[in-house]
């Protein structure tokens, strides 16, 4: 994404929110994520030898304090719920946040920071939410809404990827969550849901009525970088915020007019 990978944006968002311990759930052939947060001694030496101090500073700035990031291997691709369950030993009995790097959210304040501020007010479980087009409800977990208070909506139910004719609303859950540790007990059953996967939405739905549960309509723009369109639009957005890149983009697009 312009000058750093999506996982870096996710980690920086978590740190901005005051989160101190990061757990990355990885899979087969994804060791590159672990390497990203380690020293690349050969690259650093080349940058030093060539006097590229700006590039060296940028590379080193992405490193984190030793021991801050832990890694868990999801040995089988059984869904988001299973990936989170794999981190249960690290999480223990503490509330925790989840950020899906493919969902890039750009705003004045990071989405997780906004969610933690809301959590300090209402507690319980909070999901980031946004309104989607009617034809897109089958792509998301959809909230059955209750009382609405500003940017917070009470969650009375959750349905994973409903068709438009049965969707309880158009308010969709996107890739940011603050959850209570009890969700791990629900995931423990490994109940299979939509798509033949262990769905986090199904486990969260079982907490409704037992714990406070809200959707937060965050202030910012979300890009689904798992799609070609979302990835492209996110790059345009980020590049437009850089003065030099914005000038080059303007020249490129104007040349065809």
- pLDDT tier, 233 (very low <50, low <70, confident <90, very high otherwise): very high
Vertex 256: Cα angle to 253 and 257 (nearest 5): 95
Residue range 187-208: mean pLDDT, rounded: 84
> What are 112-152's pLDDT values in tens digits?
999 999 999 999 999 999 999 999 999 998 999 998 888 99
Question: Cα Rg for the chain, rounded, in angstroms?
Answer: 20
- Parallel, antiparallel or unpaired: strands 152-160 and 141-149: antiparallel
196 or 24, higher pLDDT: 24
Structure confidence at residue 82 as a pLDDT band (50, 70, 90): very high
The average pLDDT across 92-110 equals 94
Low-confidence winner among 21-25, 57-61, 76-80 (lowest mean pLDDT): 57-61
Q: Express as a percent the part of the chain with pLDDT over 90.
A: 57
C-alpha span between 12 and 63 (Å, rounded): 11
Fold classification of 78-226 (topology level): Spore Coat Polysaccharide Biosynthesis Protein SpsA; Chain A (3.90.550)
Kindly write down the DSSP assignment for every residue of 205-233, as one continuous string.
HTTBTTB-EEEEE-SSEEEETTSHHHHHH
Average pLDDT, the chain: 88
For the entire predicted model, the pTM comes to 0.84
pLDDT digits (tens, 9 = 90+) for 35-74: 767 766 676 777 787 788 877 776 677 666 776 788 999 9
Strand 213-217 relative to strand 125-131: parallel, antiparallel, unpaired? parallel
Q: Where are the domains of the chain?
A: 78-226
């Amino acid at each position: 994404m312009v000058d750093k990978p999506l996982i870096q944006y996710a980690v920086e968002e978590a740190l901005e929110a005051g989160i101190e311990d990061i757990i990355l759930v990885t899979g087969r052939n994804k060791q590159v994520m672990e390497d990203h947060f380690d020293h690349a001694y050969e690259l650093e030496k080349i940058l030093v030898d060539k006097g590229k101090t700006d590039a060296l500073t940028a590379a080193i700035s992405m490193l984190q304090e030793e021991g801050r990031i832990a890694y868990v291997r999801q040995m089988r691709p059984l869904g988001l719920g299973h990936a989170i369950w794999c981190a249960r030993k690290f999480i223990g009995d503490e509330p925790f946040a989840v950020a899906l790097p493919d969902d890039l959210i750009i705003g004045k304040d990071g989405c997780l920071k906004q969610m933690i501020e809301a959590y300090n007010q209402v507690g319980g479980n909070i999901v980031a939410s946004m309104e989607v087009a009617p034809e897109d409800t089958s792509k998301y977990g959809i909230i059955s809404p209750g009382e609405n208070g500003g940017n917070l909506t009470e969650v009375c139910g959750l349905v994973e990827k409903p068709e438009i004719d049965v969707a309880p609303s158009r308010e969709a859950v996107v890739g940011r969550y603050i959850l209570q540790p009890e969700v791990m007990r629900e995931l423990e059953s490994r109940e299979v849901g939509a798509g033949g996967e262990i769905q986090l939405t199904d486990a969260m739905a079982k907490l409704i009525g037992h714990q406070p549960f809200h959707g937060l309509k965050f202030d910012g723009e979300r890009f689904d970088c798992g799609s070609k369109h979302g990835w492209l639009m996110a790059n345009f957005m980020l590049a437009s915020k850089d003065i030099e890149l914005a000038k080059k983009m303007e020249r490129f697009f104007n040349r065809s007019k």
